Amino acid sequence: MLYYLLHLLRDHVSGLNVVRYITFRTAVASLTALFLVLFLGPWMIERLRAFQIGQYIREEGPQAHKAKAGTPTMGGLLILTGILVPTLLWADLTNRNVWIVVLSTVAFGVVGFVDDYAKVARKRNLGLTARKKLAAQIAIGLGIGSTLYANGHSTQIVLPFFKKLHPDLDMWYIVAAALLVAFASNAVNLTDGLDGLAIGSTLIAAAAFTALAYISGHRVFSEYLDLLFMRDVGEVTVFCGAMVGASMGFLWWNCYPAQIFMGDIGSLSLGGALGTVALLIKQEVLLFFVGGLFIVEAVSVMLQVASFKLTGKRIFRMAPLHHHFELLGWKETQIVIRFWIVAFIFALFSLTTLKLR
């Protein structure tokens, strides 16, 4: 919205021509998101406390988490505000890709809100059943995949390390898209278990996707790196920048000891946003490198469940993986910072793959 106003005034006010550059609007969107979340944080925390919307801790978890009971949750509302408002202010809203990622993020946020609300209403750490949650996520994913397919979005898959190998999934791309965003959404959700862990890791992944979105929408850079040039995808960079700023701002309130938790409304929407961005910029496979930490956390749960069902034995003391290290005696802050380092390594490696072709 501000983009249009300033764009109209560019011929009358010296310097406003800068708003036509995606890099400038991405930086401003990131700063807008950061200061918006910092400003609204105390108000949101107090509102959630007033409505007694606190976190319920499961009995079988690490006992140290019992002290966190009652901490305001559903802070994902703050994250969504920090992402959506700057995007609507600074992005070109005539761009279809912007609306796809915005509506996708909101849709996953709605699923998370219903799940969080059910937990609060029941006063237990028990919201939607896993089957209902997954069905909703896949339904949203099918909607995204169908929309992209109907609008002529490329159904080719870009594979890291292979310059010319781009398998075409055709209509199966819709199914692949649905599974990808559902998996990404759940992976971030499973990572959200320690103060600052999920949001800090999201910050790193979003920063990597900010660079990737800009490169994919830039003809010269995309051709130089042998990526599929996506003509209108550059505006998604503004959304990614807003996600970086919102994550940074929320980390201020969510770092140890957390004053607010994001809840499923935050983790599901962030995961869905990352998955949708990966689809839009044609980096579906690279998502597994950019968000490598999320993948490791999700796979640890899958391995734990499979092992217990097949052999009756557990691989880890507790899944997801961060709880395993808690039970080994690592301090929460040690786990979070070390996992951030791992997330940074994954994100950095994903960017290096652009030249390893």
> How far apart are alpha carbons 222 and 228 in whole angstroms?
7
Say if 70 falls within a structural domain.
yes
Neighbouring residues of 153: CB distance < 8 A, sequence distance ≥ 6: 279, 280
Percent share of the chain, pLDDT over 70: 90
Residue 292 has pLDDT above 60, yes or no: yes
Q: How far is CA 100 from CA 57, 175, 216, 233, in A?
A: 35, 17, 17, 11
Distance from the Cα of residue 344 to its chain's centroid: 15
pLDDT digits (tens, 9 = 90+) for 18-30: 788 899 999 999 9
β-bridge partners, 168: 156
198 within some domain: yes
* Domain annotation covers residue 9: no
Which residue in this structure is represented by tokens 């059910």?
Answer: 118
Assigned domain for 226 exists: yes
Give the structural domain span for 154. Answer: 22-352
**Number of folded domains in the chain?**
1
pTM of the model: 0.93
As a whole number of angstroms, the distance between CA 349 and CA 357 comes to 13
Judge whether 2 lies within some domain. no
pLDDT for 69 beyond 80 = no
For 96-121, the DSSP string reads HHHHHHHHHHHHHHHHHHHHHHHHHH
Residue 15 lies in a domain: no
Return the pLDDT at 119.
80
Task: Evaluate if residue 188 carries a pLDDT over 60.
Answer: yes
- 8: in domain: no
Question: pLDDT digits over 49-62, tens only?
Answer: 887 776 666 655 56
d(C-alpha 73, C-alpha 116), whole Å: 8
The answer to whether position 164 is within a domain reads yes
